[in-house]
Chains A and B, each alone.
Chain A
């Protein structure tokens, strides 16, 4: 047997590690900022580019794709080479992957504050960046599969199964969810409308959690945990069982984000039951990790990286138990749209992703720099304030969610709601403050880590190419005969790729395809009409300002909601909604039925100075809407695009659009003057915003009116 000499590429790993740290700090800093903006709305300093609606997506994108993303690549590039006993397939591809990804992050950091967003959560980036992501993802794929193919190890290790599943599923999710019709470089409309768009989005959104935040980290756990603890993996059988069941079941669970919405009930129920069935497969990973570790439990006392690992696994266990619980309809009825969900995802994000990333960084850097960690004490401190940070984040948010759940639904005996929406918001501001403190603690810990690793790097010598040797793989000896049936998947990366693709596709196909082709899934309402040109422009402003980050447009069928907001949402109301704007969190009240509820002048003052109308509101003022003139130069293109997507604009409506805008704007200006003697220019953005808000949810009221009329 020939022993071959080769070298592992540490440079790419190190670079991804450094990027992880930089973007970790940036992402958390933005997170802390948005957290405190909910306590002190003035914290955007009156600048439109730093309002909550615009930088909350920046926070989520920076954390998910920049911090966690880079951490994944760091972990994959390190572990994949070693379990395959080969260098990465191509150094050039590694470079392209690294710099390409950083450029994508940079462009996200520029476009999101500018308000260039698709409004779809965790997929806010616009068309050109989406294409870039696809390209870089393909580069990563070629590099990864190339490496797997030229491996010197007969079988593919469990960590790599997870990497393969991650790659193929993320590609699938990203492409399907990003289908959109562009109207300009940075403006496009989702191909799907309303209910379908919501389903596709949360099929994506939920599985972004599954296949970007979970499976790659499970893969990394399977490599780094046994390495750190110097223990064998507890159970190979459990690995097989939980790997396949996890990727099969996860993909179905997306609709649990849309319980009690206008989504057809059968899809909702599928979301519920598949979430429940996810408990065991999710816990499979945790159990395998913990039982691997239990053989070295005495080491946990002294080894801080292992402590990070244990907390990560615990957080994972808690979050994956809580998730199915929240998917039960009765729990979801209370918890959805509240801060409980925010707490839930942060237990996962801060605990599972964050802490595991820290553990790996602490383990990798001293090794790559061939030295000891600069300060163990500092590491210990990081662990402590990080853990405290998680607690200070999660506990107040759980209580906030609890308060919201209780107060939003509290009735008086005479059948009236007890609390105004704003009364609840005011209650939870102290909790928001506490949560901000939690974020600061966590960020402080991260900064400490960066300093610690920086010093470690300074005192060590970087080993860019780590020499290694291994016997060449003898291809002909692969036999399936007596070995475990699963070895078929472990021998051929393509079998694994196709296998996981098939397994993850099933759930998506079963849920998505009927939604596109079976017409009965979306009811038809004759009174629902497309937006006028001015309203359409207003809607684009709504998207630009990220209003959907705080306001839902989804009244669920509960008395407490119909009493507060009006008739509950029907799927037929959303047929022209490209993209859907249901939102996922009620920091502010629902807006589905806000149209015609208040005067035009109410909206005027409210956008100018929210607290003057809603005392104690934490919504920031939007003075720039009163200064910037509305740019409707693209209105014809936009309407044509909408028509391509199935919105029935007539040719006449499209050619008359500019005229139409001017007429409708004049009407609003006239209203403002009549109501409160407000004089305002009709070409300002605020006019379009008012037009859109006053239209919201009114189509169905018209229907009711008609019914009453016909009865008479």
Chain B
């Protein structure tokens, strides 16, 4: 069982926390009983018949028994050193965990309900006559006693319009309370305990996640080459592949022999966006939208781009016929120092 707990951190704390809560609750109740209760009310307690079958039992002992049973039962489960059952399957253990959590939540909910019931009983025992008439919710919500007002109609009239003195619906107050609670917790999460991600962290995570996804995808299509690790290939077969891609896709703009046309000359030493393999790769991959060079990364896989880029670099110095005039800067292989251009 202890191994299982490792799957969900904080389960222990959760149990300890709830146990602590109940302890506080019971302690509070005891203090209340012995310090604040008036004599006659203690008398009342003495007279409470502790026999559940009796119909006139006004003091429910069942819930308390249940409460105790509930606290003990999960504890006993966790107290065991060796589980009576053990199946070596994460699937099973995770489901068990979930089930236990579910049970725990469910039990907590019931205990809370019982606790509220107890609270109500205590309240009824200690409240003054006037308060009793009001009921606990009215006191908690600060509503005025309506029973005192014989008529709902308020005396004043405005141009014939009168107002009723109906109470604010309790569920309305509840709704309001819940939203306020939400607000407090929300501010707490993001700005006090700082456990929630604010937009900048959120963005960083999103980018990271997308990066991982993309990497996995590229792995799946068997290519992790990018502009940083691309290498010039001298492999004949690869260059033939590149040539094929070039003739289909590139030749219409850059000429069959790289002499240029719509697009710039690829056979001279002048490059608009850099002439080493990394830069050529990037230009093909991302494109230069403003100048009509489309991005190819959706059409060609990285390996194909590497082959094509390598093929394009073979044009260097071939001096094809009808060359287009040089564009861009003369490329000097200075970044070869970086080491990955060769």
Contacts and interface: CB of A to CB of B under 8 A. Distances in A.
A277 B203 contact: no
B166 A238 contact: yes
A415 B166 contact: no
A277 B180 contact: yes
Interface in B31-77: none
Interface residues of A, number: 58
Contact of A235 (B158, B164, B190, B295): B164
Contacts of B213: 413, 415
B298 A414 contact: yes
Given A82-B159, A233-B161, A557-B200, A241 B182 contact: no
B164 A233 contact: yes
B228 interface: no
Contacts of B154: 236
Given A237-B168, A287-B169, A269 B206 contact: no
A237 B167 contact: yes
B329 interface: no
A269 B190 contact: yes
Nearest to B215: A415
Interface in B187-211: 187, 190-191, 198-200, 202-203, 206-207, 210-211
B80 to A, nearest CB: 42
Contacts of B191: 265-266, 269
A34 B109 CA distance: 55
B168 A412 contact: no
Interface string A121-160: 0000000000000000000000000000000011101110
A245 B186 contact: no
A272 B190 CA distance: 12
A473 interface: no
Interface stretch (A337-345, A596-604, A639-647, A656-664): A596-604
Nearest to B152: A232
A554 interface: no
B164 A232 contact: yes
B162 A273 contact: no
Nearest to A599: B290
Nearest to A490: B156
B142 to A, nearest CB: 10
Nearest to B216: A413
Contact of A233 (B143, B162, B199, B297): B162
A280 B172 contact: yes
Contacts of A83: 158-159, 161
A250 interface: no
A414 B167 CA distance: 60
B203 A557 contact: yes
Contacts of A260: 199
Given A85-B159, A235-B166, A265-B199, A272 B179 contact: no
* Residue among B175, B186, B298 facing the most chain A CB atoms (10 A cut-off): B186
A82 B161 CA distance: 10
A236 B164 contact: yes
Interface string B212-246: 01100110000000000000000000000000000
A703 to B, nearest CB: 17
Given A274-B183, A287-B172, A265 B190 contact: yes
Contacts of B218: 414
Contacts of B180: 277
B158 A157 contact: yes
Nearest to B190: A269
Contacts of B217: 413-415
Contacts of A287: 169, 172
Contact of A232 (B161, B186, B200): B161
A273 B186 contact: yes
Nearest to B198: A265
B160 interface: yes
B165 interface: yes
Assign chain B's interface to a size class.
35 or more
Contact of A277 (B156, B183, B207, B214): B183
B186 A227 contact: no
Contact of B207 (A82, A280, A559): A559
Contact of B176 (A79, A232, A274, A281): A281
A558 interface: yes
B190 A226 contact: no
Contact of B172 (A232, A268, A274, A283): A283
A600 to B, nearest CB: 11
A363 to B, nearest CB: 14
A415 B143 CA distance: 58
A235 B182 CA distance: 27
A239 interface: yes
B163 A233 contact: yes
B172 A557 contact: no
A411 B206 CA distance: 13
Contact of A280 (B153, B158, B163, B179): B179
B186 A558 contact: no
A612 B251 CA distance: 27
A277 B179 contact: yes
A436 to B, nearest CB: 33
Contact of B165 (A227, A236, A558): A236
Question: Which interface residue of B158, B168, B179, B207 has the most chain A CB atoms within 10 A?
Answer: B158
Given A266-B191, A287-B169, A557 B161 contact: no
A157 B161 contact: yes
A245 B180 CA distance: 12
Interface in A253-267: 260, 265-266
A597 B287 CA distance: 13
Contacts of B172: 238, 280, 283-284, 287
Nearest to B154: A236
A568 interface: yes
A280 B162 contact: no
Interface in A31-64: none
Interface string A73-100: 0000001001101000000000000000
Contacts of A599: 290
B165 to A, nearest CB: 6
B184 to A, nearest CB: 8
A223 interface: yes
B31 to A, nearest CB: 34
A602 B199 contact: no
Contacts of B168: 235, 237-238, 241
Contacts of A266: 191
A104 interface: no
Contacts of A403: none
Given A265-B198, A414-B217, A276 B190 contact: no
Given A227-B161, A266-B191, A412-B298, A273 B183 contact: yes
A598 B169 CA distance: 60
Contacts of B162: 232-233
A558 B203 contact: yes
A234 B166 CA distance: 6
Contacts of A283: 172, 175
A4 to B, nearest CB: 16
Nearest to A224: B161
A223 B161 CA distance: 8
Contacts of A602: 290
B176 A245 contact: yes
Nearest to A329: B199
Given A236-B163, A236-B165, A238-B168, A568 B158 contact: no
Interface in B275-307: 290, 295, 297-298
A427 interface: no
A5 interface: no
28 contacts: A82-B158, A83-B161, A154-B156, A232-B161, A232-B162, A233-B162, A235-B166, A236-B154, A236-B164, A236-B165, A238-B168, A238-B172, A241-B168, A265-B198, A270-B187, A273-B183, A274-B183, A276-B183, A277-B180, A280-B175, A291-B166, A411-B210, A413-B217, A414-B217, A414-B218, A557-B199, A559-B203, A599-B290
Closest 8 CB pairs of A and B: A273-B183, A280-B176, A557-B203, A415-B214, A82-B159, A235-B166, A157-B158, A83-B158
